Amino acid sequence: MKIKTKLTLGIGTLFLMVFSLAALSGWYIHQLKKDTDRILTTNYNSLLYARNMLVSLEAYAEDDRAVLRFQDNLIQQQRNITEAGEKEKTADIAARFEEMKQGSADQILRSSIRKDITDLMQMNIEAIARKSGIAGQTAKDAIISIAIVGTVCFVIAFTLLLNLPSNIADPVRKLTESIRQIARQNYRERVHILGSSEFAELASSFNTMAEKLEEYAESQLDDILQNKRRIEALVENMSDPVIGADENRTVIFANEQATKILGLSQSALLGKPVSELTLHNDLLRDLFKDISSPSAGEEFSSTLKIFADGRQSYFEKEVVDINVVPTGENELKYIGQVIMLKNITPFKEMDLAKTNFIGTVSHEFKTPIAAIQMGIQLLQNDRVGKLNDEQKYLIHGIKEDSDRLRNITAELLNIAQVESGAIKLNIHDNEVKPMLEYAIKANQVAADQKQLSLHVSVDADVNKVLADNEKTAWVLTNLISNAIRYSHENAAIEIHVEKQGTRIRFEVKDYGQGIDSKYKERIFERYFRVPGARSGGTGLGLSISKEFIEGQGGEIAVDSELGSGSSFFFYLKEAK
């Protein structure tokens, strides 16, 4: 049955019951009123007339008006005949009264009139008693009928009270619960409401919707599963090891390369808490060392030395926090971390080979250069033979070049030493200007090729600097060479030296392409090159510069804005 019909019937029944109760009560009250009215208007009035007639009869002899009063009441009584025999009695009274009026006023006639009136009164008193009995019976009937109808109404109303609200509320509750299930993505939920009510229709529409959602979710799930498999295959086939952990630091994936270097199978890794795994695996401990969860929003990277593929390998560790915005929310939520290991062994090996090569070459150069210089010295000696001016000039030129060659060889050896981890510093009081001149001279040709103008300024209060002359000059050379390399043509490069407290600040400023802020720290790492930077570099220059400067107790940093240029600067102690 429809809800509307149910409600109409329920409320209609209640209305009908109220109406019937009211009608029944009204009817009985009316009946009772009729009974009492009958007593009042008929019998009570007859009693009143009879009494008045009696009083008038007593005063008949003394008072003339008594006759009139008697007659008046008699006429009223004649009009108010209601009981059986009352008419005859009234007629008797009237006949005797006529007699009395004719003049026979004897006692016998009077007493017979009195008796008739008393009979009339008795007749009406009996009628009153009878009628009040009827009224009492009507009242009883009323109580019984109203009680019966009232009880029936109560039972019906109580049944409605018990059933009607639950009849409406139960399906609503069922539907609400099912909608909640759907919201929890339980698309298998169905509502079963039988009948032809609106709720049954609603339930059937709900079921259709749930079915469609289920279909949709399944098709979506299929897509998602396929995408998941694709991504898994991608991660699995990556040549670098990748490990993923969720927000509770439980390993959720690890590709084949990762399992290989860790020496653990996937089943030993997946679903296990990192804290438990690190207890038995040193490499995992190293991998997760220093990584907080989440890593405070910073990308994290460092170099690790791992024994893999049967040899010593080098990996660059990169930790990336995974943050997503959950559906229906606005804020990013941390859901885990991915640790990627980039195999940099080939670069390391190349670098080592280069270092060794540089070391060997520069070492090998030392002897012939020393021989050349010895030869020059001999040539300059008058004992060997006198040189003319032109020859002297030429020999002087050869000596300068051989000196430069010797210095370069020494620098190359320095680089080799730095890279092999053994820097030898030679810190003394040094003039700033010769260092600058050396660095500028070494870069002049490159600067000229790009029509760059080098502006050098040294503040007047700059004295000597406490530094390793060669290495500081090397750093300056490297910074200027970078500035030239990353400047646009016809630009200016400013080289400025100033005193700041007890330190000397060297600055090389260019107006070239600049450096993205996220790479500012990383450019000082070995082999790091800004992605997309022009090729030709090794990514070593700045890291060697940093080692040279920090080795001397100094500090090196960069200020840069992408597109506007960079300013590299370093501080060294002022000589006392």
At its nearest, how many Å lie between ligand ADP and the CB of residue 515? 5
For ligand ADP, the closer of residues 255 and 545 by Cβ is: 545
Nearest to 399 by CA among 387, 415, 417, 412: 387
DSSP state of 574: B
For ligand ADP, the closer of residues 69 and 520 by Cβ is: 520
DSSP state of 189: -
- Please give the Cα distance from 78 to 89 (Å, whole number): 10
At its nearest, how many Å lie between ligand ADP and the CB of residue 541? 3
* CB 342, CB 304: distance < 8 Å: no
* CB 471, CB 552: distance < 8 Å: yes
At its nearest, how many Å lie between ligand ADP and the CB of residue 554? 17
* β-bridge mates for residue 560, sequence order: 566
Binding site residues, ligand ADP, CB under 6 A: 482-483, 486, 510, 512-513, 515, 523, 529-530, 533, 537-543, 566
For ligand ADP, the closer of residues 70 and 519 by Cβ is: 519
Nearest to 420 by CA among 361, 353, 362: 353
For ligand ADP, the closer of residues 97 and 524 by Cβ is: 524
**What does 240-308 look like in DSSP terms, one character per residue?**
S-EEEEETT-BEEEE-HHHHHHHT--HHHHTT-BHHHHHHH-HHHHHHHTT--SS-TT--EEEEEEEEE
At its nearest, how many Å lie between ligand ADP and the CB of residue 411? 15
At its nearest, how many Å lie between ligand ADP and the CB of residue 551? 16
At its nearest, how many Å lie between ligand ADP and the CB of residue 521? 11
For ligand ADP, the closer of residues 235 and 484 by Cβ is: 484
- Please give the Cα distance from 317 to 288 (Å, whole number): 10
C-alpha to C-alpha distances, 487 to 231, 535, 566, nearest whole angstrom: 41, 14, 9
Of the CA atoms within 13 Å of residue 364, those in its CB half-sphere come to 6
Residue nearest to ligand ADP (CB): 537
For ligand ADP, the closer of residues 53 and 523 by Cβ is: 523
Nearest to 569 by CA among 552, 539, 549: 549
At its nearest, how many Å lie between ligand ADP and the CB of residue 490? 16
Nearest to 317 by CA among 290, 351, 281, 349: 290
At its nearest, how many Å lie between ligand ADP and the CB of residue 561? 11
For ligand ADP, the closer of residues 264 and 476 by Cβ is: 476
For ligand ADP, the closer of residues 199 and 568 by Cβ is: 568
Q: Which two tokens mark 422?
A: 């053994």
- Please give the Cα distance from 186 to 183 (Å, whole number): 7
At its nearest, how many Å lie between ligand ADP and the CB of residue 537? 2
For ligand ADP, the closer of residues 435 and 540 by Cβ is: 540
